[in-house]
């Protein structure tokens, strides 16, 4: 089973990504790092530990990572989207488990030695921890098999500014560091995550599941669905983070994912946080640019929603 390290800002859709990974027999989740984003890094770790406890997975280490972004202090997160505690305000049974006594970047570096050449990194929050790990140990790139990142907006508007997606917007310098490093990065941008959704009938299925983790996900989605009402014009939500997880696992395949020149706008003007991708040669179908190691997923082979609900409830 392929080892996966997850870096997240848990978060309602982060919780879906975590649960999807736990339910995937193809992989083994070997560690989780948290970062500030949707909520504080500490609260994200609390949420993660409580969710893991619901799944009976006390064995997976959870390390608290960056409590601020590289060039900006944490701003308090987005309680209007993910609730006051990051998980829609629901109260999970407190697991009592403590986070690891190493930072997320240290955990990642340690796991990269333990699983050298095989470790897959999945990030569904700002890229601060990964950038910090690269700064501490630039040889990390040689031991990580791949990086799959929920982040960016290729041909669609941003969701924080006109051009910037939240995970990149929160720490553009970190995102730039990660995509400039010499390793294989797959960006899963808003272009595809907004196209993959859950609806009220899916939430009902989660609520009716025999699995306590699935039921808690159904409960927290109530809050997320309210937020997305104005976006989609119906109750439901985008599947940002679980799509990155499913692509990393291989449960969903990228149908179109060219390797292209990619950089992040780190200026302080209106373009800050934009994923600047050179897609000029993609008019007649996907073309890989020689030497480019950042792929951008522009289409998937099938919708995630039904596959996700099936994995979470069986």
Residues annotated as part of the active site: 9, 240
200 Cβ neighbours under 8 A, 6+ residues apart: 225, 235, 236
Q: Which of 34, 40, 43, 159 binds ligand BDR (CB under 6 A)?
A: 159
Q: Does 167 bind ligand BDR (CB under 6 A)?
A: yes
Asked if residue 124 binds Ca ion (CB under 5 A), the reply is yes
Spatial contact of 229 and 235, defined as CB atoms under 8 Å apart:
yes
The counts of H helices and E strands in the chain are: 13, 13
Query: Positive or negative CA dihedral for 276, 142, 136, 32?
Result: positive
CA distance linking residue 107 with residue 164, whole number of Å = 29
Q: Which is nearer to ligand BDR, 137 or 271 (CB)?
A: 271
Q: Which does 143 bind (CB under 5 to 8 A by kind): Ca ion, ligand BDR, none?
A: none
- Complex with ligand BDR: residue 4 or 150, whichever CB lies closer: 150
Compute the least distance from the CB of residue 82 to Ca ion, in Å.
Answer: 9
124 is a site residue for ligand BDR (CB under 6 A): yes
Q: Residues touching Ca ion: how many (CB under 5 A)? A: 6
11 contributes a contact to Ca ion by CB under 5 A: yes
Structure tokens belonging to residue 105: 């970047």
Residue with tokens 């609900």: 309
Q: Give the separation between CA 104 and CA 6, rounded to whole angstroms.
A: 10
Q: Would you call 120 helix, strand, or coil by DSSP?
A: strand
Question: Taking Cα atoms as reference points, which of 207, 194, 208 lies closest to residue 236?
Answer: 194
Residue 128 within binding range of ligand BDR, rule CB under 6 A: no
Contact between 106 and ligand BDR (CB under 6 A)? no
According to the binding rule CB under 5 A, does residue 36 interact with Ca ion? no
Query: Which one, of 113, 116, 182, 190, lies nearest residue 155 by Cα?
Result: 190
By CB under 5 A, tell whether 125 contacts Ca ion.
yes
Which residue stretches of the chain are H helix? 12-22, 41-54, 79-82, 104-114, 128-136, 140-143, 166-170, 172-180, 190-193, 200-207, 212-232, 240-249, 304-313
User: What mask of x and - would describe binding to Ca ion in positions 239 to 278, judged by CB under 5 A?
Assistant: --x-------------------------------------
Binding of residue 166 to ligand BDR (CB under 6 A): yes
Q: Based on the shown chain and the rule CB under 6 A, indicate whether residue 219 belongs to the binding site for ligand BDR.
A: no
- Of 88 and 125, nearer to Ca ion (C-beta) is 125
**Residues within the interface to ligand BDR (CB under 6 A):** 11, 13-14, 38, 124-125, 150, 159, 165-167, 240-241
Binding site for Ca ion (CB under 5 A): 9, 11, 14, 124-125, 241
């Amino acid at each position: 089973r392929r080892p996966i390290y997850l870096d997240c800002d848990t978060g309602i859709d982060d919780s879906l990504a975590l649960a999807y990974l736990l339910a995937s027999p193809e992989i083994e989740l070997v560690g989780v790092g948290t970062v500030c984003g949707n909520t504080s890094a500490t609260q994200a770790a609390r949420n993660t530990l409580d969710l893991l406890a619901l799944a009976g997975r006390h064995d997976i280490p959870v390390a608290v990572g960056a409590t601020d972004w590289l060039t900006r202090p944490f701003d308090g997160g987005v309680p209007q989207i993910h609730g006051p505690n990051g998980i829609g305000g629901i109260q999970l049974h407190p697991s009592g488990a403590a986070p690891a006594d190493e930072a997320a970047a240290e955990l990642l570096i340690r796991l990269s030695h333990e699983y050298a050449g095989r470790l897959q990194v999945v990030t569904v929050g700002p890229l601060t921890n990964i950038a910090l790990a690269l700064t501490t140990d630039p040889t990390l790139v040689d031991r990580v098999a791949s990086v799959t990142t929920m982040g960016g907006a290729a041909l669609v508007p941003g969701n924080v500014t006109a051009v910037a997606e939240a995970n990149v917007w929160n720490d553009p310098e970190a995102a730039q560091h990660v995509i400039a490093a010499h390793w294989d990065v797959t960006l899963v941008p808003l272009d595809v995550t907004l196209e993959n959704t859950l609806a009220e009938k899916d939430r009902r299925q989660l609520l009716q599941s025999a699995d306590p983790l699935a039921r808690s996900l159904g409960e927290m989605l109530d809050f997320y669905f309210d937020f997305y009402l104005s976006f989609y014009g119906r109750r439901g939500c985008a599947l940002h983070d679980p799509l990155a997880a499913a692509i990393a696992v291989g449960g969903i395949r990228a149908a179109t994912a060219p390797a292209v020149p990619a950089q992040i706008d780190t200026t302080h003007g209106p373009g800050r946080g934009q994923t600047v991708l050179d897609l000029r040669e993609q008019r007649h179908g996907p073309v890989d640019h020689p030497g480019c190691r950042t792929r951008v997923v522009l289409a998937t082979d099938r919708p995630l929603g039904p596959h996700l609900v099936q994995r979470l409830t069986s």
